[in-house]
Amino acid sequence: MDGPVVLVPLDRVAASEYASWFKALADGTRVQIVSLLARAGRPMSVGEIVAAVAVGQSTVSAHLKVLADVRFVLVEQRGTARHYRVNDECVACFPTAADVVMGRSAPARPDARRRDRREDGGSDEF
């Protein structure tokens, strides 16, 4: 006879890390900024971001700080200007974080799928 199933939550450190990610994306403007940077595929100045999301510079700067604190975006200093780009590693991990929090198996990372295909004689393309 099987005993009761013991459910174990995420450890506190992982839960806190994931919570900080979800909190950083809990604002529509921040989601717009991450989406913009991911689609641009290049670093963008604060002025370019302001023009695209149609909110003030100080608001965009505050949102960029929140996103940089959790490393969704990375900052590149170019002279006196700062340019922001999406952190591809963090963005790639986010769906995995959501799966883990929801108790699902984490999906294979894209680099793991690519490696598996190469080992099977397939191409690197998806």
Can you give the CATH number for the domain in which 42 is found? 1.10.10.10
Would residue 105 count as lying in a domain? no
DSSP 54: T
More confident residue, 82 or 121: 82
Q: What is the pLDDT of residues 32-91, one digit of tens each?
A: 999 999 999 999 999 999 999 999 999 999 999 999 999 999 999 989 999 999 998 876
81-86 and 73-78 strand pairing: antiparallel
Number of structural domains in the chain: 1
pLDDT of residue 37: 94
Would residue 110 count as lying in a domain? no
User: Taking the model in full, what pTM does it have?
Assistant: 0.71
Would residue 54 count as lying in a domain? yes
Most confidently modeled of 81-90, 104-113, 114-123?
Answer: 81-90
pLDDT of residue 98: 73
**Could you tell me the pLDDT band of residue 122, with boundaries at 50, 70 and 90?**
very low
More confident residue, 103 or 112: 103
pLDDT of residue 93: 74
User: Which residue blocks in 41-109 are alpha helix, DSSP H?
Assistant: 46-53, 57-69, 88-101
Return the exposure string of 61-71: e unless at least 16 CB atoms fall within 10 Å of the residue's CB, then b: eebbebbbebe
- Tell me which residue range forms the domain holding 75: 12-88
Would residue 114 count as lying in a domain? no
